[in-house]
Amino acid sequence: MKFGTYRWPKCREQLEGIGRWMAPLGLRLVLAWEFYEAGREKLRGENWFPSIMDAFPFPFDRIPTDFSWALATWFELIGGVALLLGFGTRFFAASLFVLTIVATAAVHWPQDWMGLSELAKGYAITDNGGGNYKLPLIYLTMLLPLVFHGAGKLSVDALISCRSSAMLPTADRFGWGVFLLAFGLPLSMLLPLPGLTIAATGLVLSMLALRRPLA
């Protein structure tokens, strides 16, 4: 019993230590491949955005399709390479998160759904008339840890951060407000009411924190 009591905390520390190196790497490799391949297909293919322009959420439906096509292409290509190297990871993960939300709204989201049961039918790989947002949703959940925790120690970002002053992580009211605002706005492209409610909550928290910051 004493041996197990001693070894388990030690083993947990070792796993966490190795995880700081290896845990984000799998996410980065898979996402880098998927987004780079998507960008390469666009680079070699023809612009099909005009055919889905009406389905783009605001404000992306106001952007010329040629510019949107080029923007998506190069963000996927450069973002894929950046994730592979672990360079600018949070920025590119957040950018690809928004890009995936837009793609989901325009291509993969059910066009007409009247309840959660109908919306759940779209959680699929192939589109049988009710959407097919399963794969982009998986990408979104894989991108979030990279936004919050970064690329891990096996990355260019870690090499750069070693030369800068260390900062202690915090989770104060202002931080939560910024997160809810940044998360709610993209979510509103898919679920307007919940997304805008989350964004408004984040805005209120941020303003309250600026007026009366927590100690």
Q: Which of 131, 123, 138, 105 is nearest to 31 (CA)?
A: 138
Q: Which of 140, 122, 142, 141 is nearest to 132 (CA)?
A: 122
pLDDT of residue 166: 58
Contact 80, 32 (CB under 8 A): yes
Return the half-sphere exposure (C-beta side, CA atoms, 13 A cut-off) of residue 187: 15
d(CA 168, CA 152): 16
d(CA 207, CA 201): 10
Mean pLDDT of 27-40: 96
At 64, is the pLDDT very low, low, confident or very high (cuts 50, 70, 90)? very high
- Residue 214, pLDDT above cutoff 70: no
Summarize pLDDT for 34-52 with one digit per residue, the tens: 999 999 999 999 999 998 8
Summarize pLDDT for 202-213 with one digit per residue, the tens: 999 989 888 765
Alpha-carbon 151 to chain mean position: 13
Summarize pLDDT for 78-137 with one digit per residue, the tens: 999 999 999 999 999 999 999 999 999 999 998 878 788 888 888 988 887 778 899 999
Q: State both tokens at 4.
A: 């197990």
DSSP state of 52: G
Contact 75, 39 (CB under 8 A): yes
Look at the alpha carbons of 45, 79, 147, 22 in this order and tell me if their dihedral is positive or negative.
positive
At 28, is the pLDDT very low, low, confident or very high (cuts 50, 70, 90)? very high
Residue with tokens 């995880």: 19
